[in-house]
Amino acid sequence: MRKFLERPPLAEKSKVAIARGEDYGEAEKAVRRVVELLGGIGKICKPGDKVMIKPNMIYASKPEEAETTHPAVVKAMVTLCREAGASVKLGEQTGWHCDPELSFTVTGIKDAALAAGADEVVNWDTDEYVTVAVPNPRSFARVMLPKSLMDADVIIHLPKMKTNAVQVATLGIKGWIGALHNSMRTFIHKNALDNGWATTDVVKALGPKLKLTLIDGIEGMEGSGPHAGLVCHPKLIIASQDVVACNAVTCKIMGFHPLEIPATQVAMKDGVGTADLDEIDVLGERIEDVLYPFKRAVNQYVSHYSNVREFVGGACQGCFWTFPSLPPHVDPEKKYALVAGARALIGDDLSSYDEVHLIGICACAPSHQLPGFKERVGRAKKIVTHPYCPGYNTAVHHHEKAEAKGDVFEVPDLLLGDMCALWAVPDVTNEDKMEAALARKENRQSLEDVRRTAEQYYGPALLESSKPALWPMTPLREMAKWQDPVDRELSPTPIRFLQGNGSSAGTPNVVRTDERGEGSIPVK
Ligand code: SF4
C-alpha cells in the first residue's frame, strides 16, 4: 500500500510506552512504569542536569475539570528527575488573558512541583525571552522562547490527553504554543495547518533537548477542548521520546487516525519523528486493549441567535470561530450580520441590519472582495470592523475597548473562555460553562454576579491578586520579521480598507475596533 511519505523506513523503530492508572492515586506508579519501559530515567536525565518540565495549563481550572495536567502527574515526574540527581524547574504560560500565577495555584501544579523538589516554577509570561533559530523552518526562521526553557539541558513535556478545536487534539506538538512569546501566538490560529506548521517549528527549535513527552490520560477532556469539553476516563499514561510517535499512538487510542493532527503530519515530513505505526514499538499495554474513543470537538458554525445571520465566502477557521461570540452582547430587538472571508457571498439586502460585523482582514478590505461588496455592506446602519488575521484576535481584545468598561468582560479570561465554550455544538460542550457564557452574552449576569461566582471558584484572596496576562496584538507587518533568518526592516504592503465618514446611506458609520493592525494604513 502507498505510504504516507515516500522515504526509506526508519533504521530504528520509535518506542511508545503505555501504562494503566486507575485514578490519580496510581499516577506515580504509572509514570514510573512508562519511564522504565522506555529504558529508565537515566535515558532522560543524569545527575547535574538542569531539567525544565512544561505541563499543559490553559486557564485557572481545578484539576478535576481535566483541562490541565494533573498535579499528581507533575509531582511524579519531578520526583523521578530529582531521584536521578537532576535539578528541576517547571515553566508554562496560559491561554489569553488568564493570569499564569493564578493558574499555577488553582491547578495545583505549583504546589505539586515544589513539594516534589522543583527549585522554581517559572511564569513564562514574565520570563526573559531569547531568539532561537529554527532548523529546516516552515513558518518561522526564528522563534522567541523563554530563556529559562532554552537554558535547560533536558526538556520534558506533560500534555493532557484532550481534544482541541484547532488541531483535533492538543497532545505533544500543539501544546508547545505555550512556550512561544505572546506576541507570536495570536497570529497562528488561522486554521489547523497554519497552527501545525508553526508549532512544529517550535519543537524543531527545542531540538534534541526535548527528551520526553508524557501524556496525562488518567482523566482526559473530550468534546469541546481545550477548555470547555467533558471529563472522560481513559485511565492511561502514554510516553515516548519521539513526540510524533506519542501523538500517533495517543490519537489511535482516542479513536482518531494517527495522522489526523495536522502538526503530526508536518513534523513527520520534517523528520521530527514517525507517526507510522509500523515504525513504532508499543511497550506495556497494547493499543487494542486500551482503545478509548473520544467525542470530537464539533464546531458550531452559526450563531446561536436567529437575529444574527452569517455571510461567508472563503473564510478560515480563525474567522468563523467568532460567529458564536459576536456581537459580544446580542440585543434581541436588533438585527446583526457577520461577514467573513476573502470573497464573502452576501445574497441578502443588508439595509435592514442594525450592525454588520466585518470579521478579519479579508472582510475589511473591499479590494479583496467580489465587485459590489462595498455597496452591499454599505447599506447597513452601522459597520464594525475587526481587521486582523485571524479575525478572532480583535474579538478576544474586545475587553480592552472603551465600550467594554464596566462590563462582564473586565473579568480576566472571560471573553476567550466564553468563546471556547460557544465554539462547539452543545452536546459536546460543558453545559455549565456554556450556560454561563450565554448568560453573559445576554446580560443575564451582572458584573457583580460574575465577580461573586469567580470569588466562589477562586477564593477572594486569589481573585484579588489576579493579574490577567494582557497580550499585545502584534501588527501583522511586524510578524513578517520572524520569517527571516536575520532581523531587518520590512516595508508594509498597503491594503485598501473600508473607510467611513458618516451614517448616511452609502457612507456607513464604520467603527474601527483595532488600530494596531495593517488597517492603520490610511487609504484615499
Ligand atoms: S482574515 Fe482572511 S485569511 Fe485571515 S483568517 Fe480570516 S478569512 Fe482567513
The predicted-structure confidence for 345-366, as pLDDT tens digits, reads as follows 999 989 999 999 999 989 998 8
Rounded Cα gap, residues 448 and 433, in angstroms = 18
pLDDT of residue 513: 55
Instruction: Evaluate if residue 521 carries a pLDDT over 50.
Output: no
Cα(288)–Cα(5) distance, integer angstroms:
25
> Would you tell me how many other CB atoms lie within 10 Å of the CB of residue 298?
17
pLDDT at residue 522, as a whole number = 31
Residue 503 has pLDDT above 60, yes or no: no
- Best of 191, 193, 320, 361 for a ligand 1 pocket test (most atoms within 8 Å of beta carbon): 361
Strands 154-158 and 382-386: unpaired
Give me the residue label for grid cell 514517525: 274
pLDDT of 55 > 90? The answer is: yes
Separation of CA 174 and ligand 1 centre (Å):
20
> Ligand 1 in contact with 113 (CB < 6 A)?
no
Tell me the average pLDDT across 360-383.
Answer: 89
pLDDT given at position 520:
33
- The finding on whether 476 has its CB within 6 A of some atom of ligand 1 is no
* Phi, psi torsion values for 134, nearest 5 degrees: -100, 120
Cβ 342 under 6 angstroms from ligand 1: yes
| Band (473; pLDDT cuts 50, 70, 90) | confident
Written as one string, the DSSP assignment of 354-415 is SEEEEEHHHHT-GGGS-TTHHHHHHTSSEEEEE-SSSTHHHHHGGGGSGGGTTSGGGSTTHH
Query: What average pLDDT score do residues 165-187 get?
Result: 90
Among 194, 316, 396, the mutation site with the greatest number of ligand 1 atoms within 8 A of its Cβ is: 316
CB of 282 sitting under 6 A from ligand 1:
no
Ligand 1 contact, 316 CB (< 6 A): yes
Which atom of ligand 1 is nearest to 360's Cα?
Answer: 1
Query: Could you give the maximum distance between any two Cα atoms of the chain, in Å?
Result: 74
- How many CA atoms does the CB half-sphere of 377 hold within 13 Å? 34
- Per-residue model confidence as pLDDT tens digits over 387-410: 888 988 887 777 777 777 777 777
What is residue 206's predicted lDDT score, i.e. its pLDDT?
A: 98
Which of ligand 1's atoms lies nearest the C-alpha of 315? Answer: 7
State which ligand 1 atom lies nearest to the alpha carbon of 340: 7
Residue 63 makes CB contacts below 8 A (sequence gap 6+) with: 24, 70, 71, 107, 108
202, 287, 292, 414 from 425: Cα distances, Å:
31, 30, 21, 19
Residue 327, preceding peptide bond in cis (omega within 30° of 0): yes
**Predicted local distance difference test score (pLDDT) of residue 497:** 61
Q: Which of 179, 194, 221, 247 is nearest to 429 (CA)?
A: 221
User: In this predicted structure, which of 93-97, 219-223, 290-294 has the lowest mean pLDDT?
Assistant: 93-97
Among protein residues, the one with the nearest Cα to ligand 1's atom 8 is 316
Give the ligand 1 atom nearest the CA of 390.
Answer: 5
360 lines ligand 1 (CB under 6 A): yes
pLDDT score of 518: 41
Determine the atom of ligand 1 nearest the C-alpha atom of 388: 1
Distances, alpha carbon 62 to alpha carbons 65, 66, 344, 434, 524, in Å: 6, 8, 41, 17, 52
- Cβ within 8 Å of residue 440, ≥6 positions away: 408, 409, 414, 418, 450
pLDDT value at residue 445: 87
Q: List Cα–Cα distances, 233 to 23, 161, 219, 237, 430, in angstroms.
A: 9, 10, 5, 11, 16
Instruction: Take atom 1 of ligand 1 and give the residue whose Cα is closest.
Output: 360
**Residue 296 CB less than 6 A away from ligand 1:** no
Say what percent of the chain tops pLDDT 70: 92
Cα three-residue angle 68-72-76, rounded to 5 degrees = 120
Cα 361 to averaged position of ligand 1 atoms, centre (Å): 6
Q: How confident is the model at residue 499 (pLDDT cuts 50, 70, 90)?
A: low
**Cα(486)–Cα(244) distance, integer angstroms:** 29
Atom of ligand 1 nearest to the CA of 318: 5
Fold entry, domain 16-289: Rossmann fold (3.40.50)
Q: Is the pLDDT of residue 52 over 60?
A: yes
Per-residue model confidence (pLDDT) at position 515: 44
Please, what is the Cα angle at 449 between 412 and 306, to 5 degrees? 85
Q: How far is CA 37 from CA 34, 40, 147, 224, 381, in A?
A: 5, 7, 32, 33, 65
Distance from Cα 513 to the centre of ligand 1, integer Å: 16
Residue 501, pLDDT above cutoff 60: no
Neighbours of 512 (CB within 10 A): 19
Instruction: For residue 489, count other CB atoms closer than 10 A to its CB.
Output: 5
Q: Which of 23-32, 180-189, 243-252, 432-441 has the lowest mean pLDDT?
A: 180-189
344 lines ligand 1 (CB under 6 A): no
List the chain domain ranges. 16-289, 308-458+491-520
Q: Which of 319, 320, 343 to mutate to test the pocket of ligand 1 (most atoms within 8 A of CB)?
A: 319
The answer, yes or no, to whether any atom of ligand 1 lies below 6 A from the CB of 361, is yes
Q: Cell triple for residue 14?
A: 520509535
Cα dist from 289 to 19, 32, 292, whole Å: 11, 20, 9
CA 276 / ligand 1 centre spacing (Å): 33
Ligand 1 pocket, residue 17 CB under 6 Å: no
Q: Is 517's pLDDT higher than 50?
A: no
Query: For ligand 1, is residue 387 a contact (CB within 6 Å)?
Result: no
User: How far, in Å, is the centroid of ligand 1 from the Cα of 395?
Assistant: 14
